[in-house]
Structure 1
């Protein structure tokens, strides 16, 4: 049994892919104001929220439990509207050796877009369940955020 895996979800949204990418690549600190599932974030180390060496501290709810971690941006691909985030420390390190979110905003023909989230992970041992709660979290946050992006 492999301890490494990937789980993905694709969510159709109304806001354009460019708005989504701009939010996740350049305005990440606003997420805490757009969904009640994220309780707070602060810059832990670095110059700003969007520099690759910057580390942010997040507090959020997963599976009904308030959870914390730190996060850094691993890469930003503007051409493909993709951002890879590495999550670590806090509750993440209790269960996983490796944990990443891959965000991608894809234009569709109706003026909206498709948001694709992939969670890449490696569990510490076979007793740790795959992180399905994170996929549910990302899906619900995406719905909350879409409503706000339509107003902007």
Structure 2
């Protein structure tokens, strides 16, 4: 059984182009006020929520019905490709995974629609750990809440 893998989900957006990427890169701290499964976020280290590598955020959220915690840093932001790469670590994540990286991308589709793609790259600490499929369901749920919020904004 493979210890590492990659999972992704792509969801069509209803909010105008650019709004989702703006939320992910400049207002991520607001997610706790938008999404039911995100219970709490706080700046653990650093002065700015959105600095690359310089800030560490602490997240408390629900995966598979269980309250889960982790820390997160931004690895990179690509404005041209509307992509943000995050590294998740510590807390419950580190008990199951050596590597847990999330890439979020806003995609302009050829048919004029816009999608959000969430890609999760992981390495399990052992064969006994399941692939993080619960995270795909989590990202699907919070994306829909974020999209609905952005439609109203």
Classify the TM-score, shorter chain: over 0.9
Do the aligned residues in 2 keep the contact of 1:11 with 1:116 (CA within 8 Å)? yes
Q: Which runs of 5+ in 1 are unaligned?
A: none
Match of 1:71 in 2: 72
1:2-81 superposed matches below 5 A: 2-52=2-52, 53-81=54-82
C-alpha distance in structure 2 between counterparts of 1:25 and 1:15, whole Å? 16
CA contact (8 A) 1:15 1:111 kept: no
- Spell out, residue by residue over 1:24-53, the C-alpha distance to the aligned partner (whole angstroms, 9 max, x if none): 011110111111110010000001100121
CA deviations 1:55-79 (Å, max 9, x no partner) are 0000000000001000000100000
State TM-score, norm by structure 1: 0.96
Deviations 1:91-145 (A, max 9, x none): 0000000001110001236664100000100000000000000010000000111
Question: Over the residues paired in the alignment, what is the CA RMSD in angstroms?
Answer: 1.1
How many matched pairs? 152
**What are structure 2's unaligned runs of at least 5 residues?**
none
Matched, 1:127 2:128: yes
- Moved segments of 4+, more than 2 Å: 108-112
The SS at the match of 2:105 is strand
